Every structure is written in structure tokens, then in C-alpha cells.
Amino acid sequence: MRKTLILTACAASLSLGACSTAIEAVRGPELAPIGYPAALVPQSQVYQPSPEQQAAIRAEQNGRMAASANSLWRTGARTFFGDQRARHIGDILTVNIAIDDSAQTSNATNRARSNDASGGVTNFFGLENSLGRAFPGGFDPGNLVGTQGQINASGSGSVSRSEKVDLTVAAVVTDIMANGNLVIQGRQEVRTNREVRELTVAGIVRPEDITAANTISHTQIAEARISYGGRGDISRVQATPAAQSLVERFSPF
């Protein structure tokens, strides 16, 4: 009974996947629904804020931070007119992605080794004469044992890669670490005809690195996870067929 249920569930999932693929082939790829981008990165930073930090963050988020005595400045405020840079959960900041990297490596290896060894027995309990009679003209006690070997190996390899990406995406502050660093995540989808281009970014930034224009460069994002790809008719045609991918992955040749 259990096996039947498992087989039924597998068949249903396969049919749903095939149905979804068929619908996408007819209608084209659909955009993902708008939502809080907490699911972009499955890993989360584990930390325990101090009670003072929790109280300060809670009071600031609720707008209960009062001005100091005999002062027009609020406690924790950066400027007189208010700091517009992202610093709270849910705030938005702009990430400038300007990747222009290139790498080139080349190496070659040559290795060769040969050996030759021989040995003989002059006397072996008098049996050397018996062996000579058993193998007339083909037995030489002076060359009873001989080994010879040769190993040759050569290899070469080279890597040449160039990447250039110049994009801008808005990200949302999804978490605040104990030391004040901000965890940001953002996603952008653009559909052109039957092709969807998707850009995702996630990582950890310092509030001090955010400019006055509320922007930050991708080089200042720690643990940065940047993905730029697409799905649709063009991507599907360019991809290797599934059966061919399986054969290439598991083929021993």
C-alpha cells in the first residue's frame, strides 16, 4: 500500500511538471509573484542581539526615540534633517553591479621514467643443470630474472575567461546582525517577448559603506551572491537536452 502511494505521488508530480513545462512552452515563462525576498538565500546568519540593541532597534522602529535633553537631535540620528540611507529592516537600497573580470592561466607538464633490472643464479642446489636440460638452448642461469619498465606522461591545460556585467538592482534589508551590519536581498525580473531575464543579489553590507545617495557597490558586499540568468525559449534551445546531459555526466569515457 505504501509503495502504491509513493508511486502515485511520483506519477502525479511528474505529470504536474510536464503540464507546467507544456504550459510554459505555449504561453511563455511567467514572472514570479512579488514578495518579501527572504527566500533568495536559504542560509541565515545566526546571532543573538544584546538586550540593549534589541531595545534600541525596537524603539527606533516604533518612532519612540526622543531627543536628548536641551537638544534638537534624536538619539542615534546621523544628520539634522534625517538620514535617508537604509538602516532598518524593510528599507530599500540600490546595488550597483559593475563586474569586469578576466582570468587567464596556462600550464604544461612532462614526465618520463624508465628502469631496467636483471639478475641471475649461478648455483641453486644443483638444479640449474636440470633446468638447462629441460630447456635446451633457452635457459641462462646468469639471466634468470629480468624486469624492464617505462612510464611516460604529459599534460597541458589552459583557462581563458572574461566576464563583464553592468547592472543596477534595488535590494531590501531583510535582517540586522548583532554588530549592526545589514543583510540585504533583492531580485529583478524583466520579460521581453518569451524570455525572462532574472537578476538576484544577496549578501552582508556595512551601514558605513552605503553612500549618501543610498547606493552601494557590489565589491562592498560580503558573502555576495549574484546571479544573472534567464528562462524561456532562447535559454531552452541553448541548453543541452536532459538525456544528453545524463549521458555525458555518467559516461565513463
Q: In terms of Cα–Cα distance, which of 39, 170, 25 is closest to 97?
A: 170
The answer on pLDDT for 232 being more than 60 is: yes
* Amino acid residing at 253: F
Q: Indicate whether this model's pTM tops 0.85.
A: no
The residue among 251 and 66 whose pLDDT is bigger is: 251
Q: In terms of Cα–Cα distance, which of 52, 87, 53 is closest to 181?
A: 87
pLDDT in tens, 152-171: 888 888 888 888 889 899 99
Highest average pLDDT, of 11-15, 88-92, 131-135, 230-234, comes from 88-92
CA 87 to chain centroid, in Å, comes to 28
Classified as helix, coil or strand, 91 is coil
